[in-house]
Amino acid sequence: MPYAFIGVGQCGGAIIDSAFSDRFMFRIAVPVAVNSATLDLETLVNVPRECWIGISRERGFIPGTTPGFGHLVSGGYGKNRKLAEEHALKFRDTLREVLLKALGAEEGAGNIPVAVVAFSMGGGTGSGAGPVVAGLLREMGIPVVALAVIPATHEGGLSARNAVECLNALVGCADSVVLVDNQKIAHSDTMEALFRSYNRYVARGICDILTGTAREGIKAEEQSYAPVLDLKDMISATTFSYGGRTLPGFAALGRASERTRGFLHYLLPFGGYREVDVVSLLYRSFMKLTLSGVAPEQAEKNLALLRVPTAYLRDTGRINTSMAKEVMEEHSRIGETHFGVAMTKRNIASATVLLTYRPAQISRFVELEKLAAQHQEVSLKVLEEYERREEE
């Protein structure tokens, strides 16, 4: 049974669209794009209409192939998170039905090994309906990884408030949360111009981990000595257990890659393949984390996946896995690391890491909370001002 890869709202849709630009993804996952605005859905290039779900104010969640879809699904929520959440909860039954159909799992979702649900927390649709979608999948027994985008500081108080409320809702609805912080691209005058490449970066990282944990295509003899990651690793690397209760961890994603074959391959060692310095690949991935204000060595636990061409896996010693593992252990406060190697058919070596934190370690959460409180205060002041005038 394939994975579910669901994008909610404009940002979530754009991220999964990017993930499915790699056609291989269609072999291991099913895309679904949920939105309240047909215009947003029409911007998707890789996710076909059969994989769309619209939110109609009258009819709830409807499949993309519904006649008159464009009329029924229009307008969006314009950053009104509360209203999007309210509608999603009100039409939860239609969501269940339409979602199972879109996932090709009408008989039940029991066999879906994991669902990734991507959305931004600063807007309306994704921020409001994203956690509802995640919660529903989790209720069906599917492990849920939320890919949640944090608004940049300059986006202001309303976006921050939506994000704070979304985070509060999310805690009960996801097994793990991977954070994608737009503050990382906020240095640009036109942050929006960087969305495409940022989405591609995030999608690649997540797809690497998912395809790296999908055992299909990896023959045992080819895998030889290298450790393998499975989905359980992915979930436990990003979840905390307290007694009998589990709570999602908050993970930052990092990825670095390099070419393994140059034009001058006849001058290079073993069949034209360069030596891969996995330690420096890992350090480069730490420098490109999707979350600002966290120290890589302060992560509670972590996961790392190396992907290398098959040739590297054939015999021992081609890549130094024990050094890589040691580096990862040094970057976990409790010494818990989940480490694996998978092969790729491309001439590329990559390291993808997830570094997991507790909320108290994330300074961006404190910033969001402050910004959100300012927003609320300002609006209330305005209200008071008007009320006073009316009383006078």
Ligand X SMILES: Nc1nc2c(ncn2[C@@H]2O[C@H](COP(=O)(O)OP(=O)(O)OP(=O)(O)O)[C@@H](O)[C@H]2O)c(=O)[nH]1
The least CB distance from residue 92 to Mg ion, in Å, is 20
199: partner contacted, choices ligand X, Mg ion, none (Cβ within 5-8 A by kind): ligand X
CB closer to ligand X, 66 vs 153 = 153
Q: Among residue numbers 65 through 124, which ones bind ligand X (CB under 6 A)?
A: 76-79, 120, 122-124
The least CB distance from residue 39 to Mg ion, in Å, is 9
Q: What is the dihedral of CA 244, 231, 207, 55, to 10 degrees?
A: -50
The least CB distance from residue 57 to ligand X, in Å, is 12
> Which parts of 73-223 fold into alpha helices (H)?
81-90, 92-102, 125-139, 157-170, 195-213, 220-223
State yes or no: residue 56 binds ligand X (CB under 6 A).
no
Nearest to 366 by CA among 163, 113, 98: 163
The least CB distance from residue 144 to ligand X, in Å, is 18
Could you tell me if 158 and 366 are in contact, meaning their C-beta atoms sit under 8 angstroms apart?
A: no
212: partner contacted, choices ligand X, Mg ion, none (Cβ within 5-8 A by kind): none
d(CA 168, CA 387): 31
State yes or no: residue 14 binds ligand X (CB under 6 A).
yes
State yes or no: residue 201 binds ligand X (CB under 6 A).
no
Nearest to 319 by CA among 298, 345, 340, 292: 340
Interacting span for ligand X (CB under 6 A) from 10-18, 227-235, 245-253, 331-339: 10-18
Q: Judge residue 75's burial from the number of C-beta atoms within 10 Å of its C-beta, 0-12 exposed, 13-18 middle, 19 or more buried.
A: exposed
State yes or no: residue 183 binds ligand X (CB under 6 A).
no
The least CB distance from residue 5 to Mg ion, in Å, is 19
For the chain, the straight-line distance linking the first and the last C-alpha, in angstroms and rounded, comes to: 67
Q: Among residue numbers 32 through 51, which ones bind ligand X (CB under 6 A)?
A: 36, 40
Among 3, 6, 10, 375, binds ligand X (CB under 6 A): 10
CB closer to Mg ion, 9 vs 205 = 9
Q: Which residues bind Mg ion (CB under 5 A)?
A: 10, 76
Backbone φ and ψ for 288, nearest 5 degrees, come out as -115, 35
CB closer to ligand X, 20 vs 77 = 77
- Per the document, the length of the chain is 392
**Please, how many CA atoms are within 13 Å of residue 269, restricted to the half-sphere of its CB?**
6
Q: Which residues bind ligand X (CB under 6 A)?
A: 9-11, 14, 36, 40, 76-79, 120, 122-126, 149, 151, 155, 159, 180, 182, 195, 198-199
